[in-house]
C-alpha cells in the first residue's frame, strides 16, 4: 500500500513503492535509528507544520545523545519536510523523519557515526480511534515498567525504545484497553506507550517530570504553556500510581494522540467517566491553534507554502 507518492531520502524524492534500505542495515539489526512524529495541519491561513523546528532539533539531539551525527541542519531538515509535503500534495499530514544507519558493517559500534535520513509524510487520522477525542479512552497500568534512567535514555526518541512501548501497548490491547501506562523504575507514573500523561485534581494540572523515564513531549510542553497562559497552575512532579484512581480528569498528549481524554484507568472511571472541563479547555486551546481560535503567540506554526 502506498501511503503517499514520494519519500524524501537524503536529498532525493524516491517514489514510495521504490524506496529501499539495505537488509543488512545497522538499524535493522541493532535498533540504531532516531525518529520524530510531526503533524501538519491545514489552517485558515494555509498548511502549517506544528513546532517544526522543535521536532527537528529533538531529532538531532536524540542522535547526539548516542554520539551519532545527522549531516543536515535543522533548516535543511525543515526544508525536506516542506518538499515532501508539497510533492505529495498534502495540506495536513503525519510526518515521519527518520535518521538511520545503513550498511556499515556488523559490529555494534559502526564504522562511522554519520546517519542517513528520510522524511515521509502521509494522511493519518486519530491515533486512538475516531471517537477518542470526545469520549475518551480506557487505559490500564501496565505490568511492564519504563526503562530505568541509567539503562536507556528515554529523552532520546530512539527506535529501540519503542520495544518498551510495544510491550505496554500490546498488553493493554490484548486485555481490552485502548492504551497502557508505564510506571517508572520506582513505581511512579511515567507515561503512556506513545503519549505523555496529565492529571487534573482540584483545578491543578499535574504531569510527571523529565526524570520519570518519559519522552519530554512537544505536545506536553505545548499544554503546559497553554495551561499557564490560561492561569491554570501546572505542577511537574512525581505522581503516585494511586493518584490515577482519584484524579478528577486525566488526558494523554502526543503528536499522534493530540489531546485525548482518559475515561477509565484499570476499569475505574476517571471522575464521572466523561471528558472533563479542563481537558475540554485544553483541547479547545490546542486545536484552536489550527482553526484560528488560539493566537499563536509562540511562533509554533511553520507555514508550508511561504518559503
The distance of closest approach from Cβ of residue 256 to ligand PMP in the complex, given in angstroms and rounded to an integer, is 6
Q: Which one, 47 or 254, has the nearer CB to ligand PMP?
A: 254
| Pair type for strands 93-100 and 116-122 | antiparallel
Residue choice 195, 270, 271, 275 for contact with ligand PMP (CB under 6 A): 195
* Site residue total, ligand PMP (CB under 6 A): 14
Residue choice 136, 194, 208, 261 for contact with ligand PMP (CB under 6 A): 194
| DSSP structural state of residue 243 | H
Closest CA to 10 of 76, 90, 67, 68: 76
Question: From CA 287, how far away is CA 275, in angstroms rounded?
Answer: 16
Q: Which one, 254 or 276, has the nearer CB to ligand PMP?
A: 254
Among 75-83, 247-255, 266-274, 283-291, the segment contacting ligand PMP (CB under 6 A): 247-255
Residue 207 in the binding site for ligand PMP (CB under 6 A): no
Binding mask 151-170 for ligand PMP (x = CB under 6 A): --------------x-----
Residue 219 in the binding site for ligand PMP (CB under 6 A): yes
Query: Catalytic amino acids?
Result: 157
What residue is closest to ligand PMP based on CB?
A: 217
Sole residue written with cell 505542577: 235
Burial class (CB within 10 angstroms; exposed 0-12, middle 13-18, buried 19+) of 279: buried
Q: Which one, 195 or 249, has the nearer CB to ligand PMP?
A: 195
CA pseudo-torsion sign 48, 127, 10, 32: positive
Q: Which one, 115 or 193, has the nearer CB to ligand PMP?
A: 193
The distance of closest approach from Cβ of residue 185 to ligand PMP in the complex, given in angstroms and rounded to an integer, is 16
CA pseudo-torsion sign 285, 291, 297, 300: positive
The distance of closest approach from Cβ of residue 191 to ligand PMP in the complex, given in angstroms and rounded to an integer, is 5
Burial class (CB within 10 angstroms; exposed 0-12, middle 13-18, buried 19+) of 16: middle
Residue choice 88, 196, 260, 264 for contact with ligand PMP (CB under 6 A): 196
Residue 184 in the binding site for ligand PMP (CB under 6 A): no
> What is the residue-wise DSSP string for 58-111?
HHHHHHHHTT-B-SS-HHHHHHHHHHHHHHTT-SSEEEEEEEE--S--SSSS-S
Among 18-26, 105-113, 189-197, 265-273, the segment contacting ligand PMP (CB under 6 A): 189-197
Among 13-21, 94-102, 106-114, 210-218, the segment contacting ligand PMP (CB under 6 A): 210-218
Residue choice 34, 37, 95, 147 for contact with ligand PMP (CB under 6 A): 37
Residue 261 in the binding site for ligand PMP (CB under 6 A): no
Phi-psi group of 231: left, alpha or beta (phi > 0 → left; psi -120 to 50 → alpha; rest → beta): left
Cβ distance 117 to 98 under 8 Å? yes
Q: End-to-end distance of the chain based on CA atoms, in angstroms? A: 31
Cβ distance 13 to 84 under 8 Å? yes
Residue 254 in the binding site for ligand PMP (CB under 6 A): yes
Residue choice 215, 239, 262, 270 for contact with ligand PMP (CB under 6 A): 215
CA pseudo-torsion sign 299, 302, 305, 307: positive
Residue 218 in the binding site for ligand PMP (CB under 6 A): yes
- Which residues of the chain form contacts with ligand PMP (CB under 6 A)? 37, 165, 191, 194-196, 215, 217-220, 253-255
Amino acid at each position: 500500500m502506498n501511503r503517499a507518492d514520494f519519500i524524501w531520502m537524503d536529498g532525493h524524492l524516491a517514489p514510495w513503492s521504490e524506496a529501499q534500505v539495505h537488509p543488512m542495515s545497522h538499524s535493522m539489526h541493532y535498533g540504531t535509528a532516531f525518529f520524530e512524529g510531526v503533524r501538519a495541519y491545514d489552517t485558515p491561513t494555509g498548511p502549517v507544520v506544528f513546532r517544526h523546528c522543535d521536532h527537528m532539533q529533538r531529532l538531532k539531539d536524540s542522535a547526539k545523545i548516542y554520539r551519532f551525527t545527522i549531516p543536515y541542519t535543522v533548516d535543511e531538515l525543515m526544508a525536506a519536510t516542506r518538499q515532501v509535503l508539497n510533492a505529495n500534495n498534502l495540506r495536513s499530514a503525519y510526518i515521519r523523519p527518520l535518521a538511520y544507519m545503513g550498511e556499515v558493517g556488523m559490529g555494534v559500534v559502526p564504522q562511522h557515526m554519520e546517519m542517513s535520513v528520510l522524511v515521509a509524510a502521509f494522511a493519518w487520522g486519530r491515533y486512538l480511534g475516531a471517537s477518542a477525542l470526545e469520549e475518551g479512552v480506557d487505559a490500564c497500568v501496565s505490568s511492564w515498567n519504563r526503562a530505568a534512567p541509567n539503562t536507556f535514555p528515554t529523552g532520546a526518541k530512539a527506535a529501540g525504545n519503542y520495544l518498551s512501548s510495544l510491550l505496554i501497548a500490546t498488553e493493554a490491547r490484548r486485555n481490552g484497553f485502548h492504551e497502557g501506562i508505564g510506571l517508572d523504575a520506582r513505581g511512579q507514573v511515567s507515561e503512556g506507550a506513545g503519549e505523555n500523561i496529565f492529571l487534573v485534581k482540584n483545578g491543578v494540572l499535574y504531569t510527571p517530570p523529565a526524570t520519570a523515564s518519559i519522552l519530554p513531549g512537544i505536545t506536553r510542553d505545548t499544554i503546559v504553556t497553554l495551561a499557564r497562559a490560561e492561569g491554570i497552575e501546572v505542577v511537574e512532579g512525581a505522581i503516585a500510581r494511586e493518584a490515577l484512581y482519584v484524579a478528577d480528569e486525566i488526558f494523554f498528549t502526543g503528536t499522534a494522540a493530540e489531546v485525548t481524554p482518559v475515561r477509565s484507568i484499570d476499569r475505574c472511571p476517571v471522575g464521572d467517566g466523561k471528558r472533563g472541563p479542563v481537558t475540554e479547555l485544553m483541547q479547545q486551546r490546542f486545536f484552536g491553534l489550527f482553526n484560528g481560535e488560539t493566537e499563536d503567540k509562540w511562533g509554533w506554526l511553520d507555514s508550508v507554502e511561504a518559503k
